[in-house]
Structures are given as C-alpha cells and as structure tokens.
Amino acid sequence: MNFDLSDLRAFVTVAQLASFRAAAQALHVSQPALSRRVDKLEQALGMRLFERSTRKVELNAMGRSFLPRAQHVLSELEGALLGMTELSERIRGLVTVACIPSAVDNFVARAARIFHTRFPRIRLRVLDQPAPDVLLSVSRSDADFGISYLGTREPDLEFEELASEPFVLACRPDHPLARRRRVRWEELAEVECIGLAAGGGNRLLIDQGLAHLAARPKWIGEVLHVPALLSLIQAGVGVGAVPKHALSGSAGQGLASVELVEPVLGRQVGLIWRRGQPAAPAVQAFRDVIVAEARVRKEDRTGGVCLAAADRHREGTP
C-alpha cells in the first residue's frame, strides 16, 4: 500500500482531536499538507475514514474500526524507539490527560517539565476539568488517562492512588480561626464560608460526610473549582474547606491551613484509565513520571527525601 507512518500519524491525530486545524498545529504542518496525508491514506485503503462538514470532522464506521489498528502500529514503533536515548528527541506524539484543576499544580506541572526534557517533541495536552468530566473524557477516549478523586469504583476503569488528602480549612492568616489548631465542622455554621459548587464531586463528598450533623457550614457563595475558591479566600471574602494538597500549590501560598474534625473528611486522588486497554509507550512514560513525582512529594512531606536531591537524581545531575 502506498502510504507511510506520517500519513498514519496524521489520521490518528485528527481522530484524537476531531479537528484538522488542531491536528495540523499539533504536528507542526500546514492544514493543506495534513489533509493531503489523510487523503493519501484513504486512497491507499480504498475507503473514507472521516465524515467531514464545515463545522466538524468525525470518524465514520470504517474510521472507528481502523483507529485502534493504526494506534497499535504507532505504539509498537514508539515502544521500539522510546528507550533509545539518541532517538528520544526525534519521537513525535500527543499525550492527552484529563485532570481536576486542583491536581494540575500538584501532580502534572512538575511531571510535565521532566517529561518534556526527556521527550521534547512529544506534545502534552491537559484538559483541566471537573471530576465528573474527567471520568467522561477517559471513558469516551477523549483522554489517554485522567487524574481525579472519582473513579475508584467504576467497573470499566482502573484506579492507581497518587495521594490521600484530608479536607482542611483555608483562611487568611489574619482570620480568627487561623490561630486554631483544629476546627469542628459544626463551628462553620457561624462563619461566612465560600463553598465548592453543589453537585460537584468535592461538594458531594463534603455533603455526604456532614449529612448527620445538626449544624453545617454557612455557604455565602459557591465556585466551580478549587483555585477559584482559594482566590476568594485570599481576597478575604470568607473561609473555605479545601483538599489539603491544594494549599501547597501556588494558588494557596500565604493561606493558613487548619485541621477540620468531627468528622475528618478526605479524598483519594489517583490515575484513572480504561480497563483492559494497553497504554501507548508515550502515555505510559508520562504516567510513570507522574507516579514517581507523587512519590517524591509524599516522601518530602514526611521528611524522607530532600526534594532538591531528588530533582538532581531524576534529571541525572550529580
């Protein structure tokens, strides 16, 4: 058949991004050149792979059938080349991760920097989404894997824990509660609180955990994402319950963290991916970096590893 790997990669990238323009940008080629590659592949196969319109492009039945085969061929090639240091800078590809916003700073940012150093031509695409949308993106194959606190019991998904974290009270250092070591949830009924939106995953965990209490937090406002909640707390609008690790990121700098008790509520954050579907080598490589970074962060918090020394070890410097 008269087609090559660049034509195959063009097809897979368009299928993943559902856009010729986005795929052309990802592969650093012009849109007409990308279209010619896809046309060449379709002509070689003797069938159309996409349904095109002025507004969208999507796989037809033949395209959906051919996609996993094309991905397998590219994965085999990546697997053969990925471990060869002298070729790592020549490997191209796209890894898409769906991630809850509060985990981008904690789990993705540092891992992305290390991964990019090792494989500079593999492009990372981060979908920062609410936890239910992360599940949906992974289930629909819109993302290669996800990072979320939902998915531990989904029958079609695998879950690998990265961290277990309690909810804590975040407030400005000049707030009266900042001087406390612990605060009971019921005490928040007397304090102006900013909450995460009702119906969201974090709020669901909190509401379920506090269902038995007679007095509950007095929510004076709601936001969708933890970084927005921290911004309002920084501005002095109120206090709020947030996952503890969120305060270690840049958005939480300068805020006080107070233990919330009676009850102690928390969540597990981890990697999720589709059960029974092998990861492409580039995807597995990025997952491995994220897991290693999470382990370093955990050891650093417990005093087991010096973070600077760990950085030198990971990046091969003495």
Residues 14-34 pLDDT 10s: 988 888 888 888 888 888 889
Distances in Å between the Cα of 141 and the Cα atoms of 27, 53, 115, 184 are 20, 22, 22, 42
**Domain spanning 165-266: CATH superfamily:** Periplasmic binding protein-like II (3.40.190.10)
pLDDT above 90 for 231: yes
pLDDT above 80 for 43: yes
pLDDT: which is higher, 314 or 276? 276
Distance between CA atoms of 33 and 253, rounded to whole angstroms?
46
Q: Using 50, 70 and 90 to split pLDDT, how confident is the model at 212? A: very high
pLDDT above 60 for 309: no
Token pair of 218 as six digits: 């007095």
All structural domains of the chain with their residue ranges: 1-81, 165-266
Instruction: Give residue 105's pLDDT.
Output: 84
Instruction: Give residue 126's pLDDT.
Output: 95
Q: Among residues of the chain, what percentage have pLDDT more than 90?
A: 41
Residue owning tokens 């006080």: 256
Q: Using 50, 70 and 90 to split pLDDT, how confident is the model at 315? A: very low
Distances in Å between the Cα of 152 and the Cα atoms of 6, 70, 128, 149, 270 are 38, 30, 19, 7, 8
Distance between CA atoms of 67 and 150, rounded to whole angstroms?
28
Beta bridge partners, 153, equal: none
Q: Which has the minimum average pLDDT: 69-78, 257-266, 297-306?
A: 297-306
pLDDT above 50 for 237: yes
pLDDT above 60 for 88: no
Instruction: Give residue 285's pLDDT.
Output: 87
Q: Using 50, 70 and 90 to split pLDDT, how confident is the model at 225? A: confident
Residues 118-130 pLDDT 10s: 888 888 999 999 8
pLDDT: which is higher, 198 or 238? 238
Torsion of CA 177, 180, 181, 186, to 10 degrees: -60
Strands 93-99 and 145-148: parallel
pLDDT above 80 for 220: yes
pLDDT above 90 for 57: no
Residues 242-263 pLDDT 10s: 999 888 777 778 899 999 999 9
Distance between CA atoms of 293 and 310, rounded to whole angstroms?
9
**Category of 303 on φ-ψ map: left (φ > 0), alpha (ψ -120 to 50) or beta:** left
pLDDT above 60 for 312: no
pLDDT above 70 for 318: no
pTM of the entire predicted model: 0.63
Architecture of domain 1-81: Orthogonal Bundle (1.10)
Average pLDDT, the chain: 84
Distance between CA atoms of 146 and 160, rounded to whole angstroms?
11
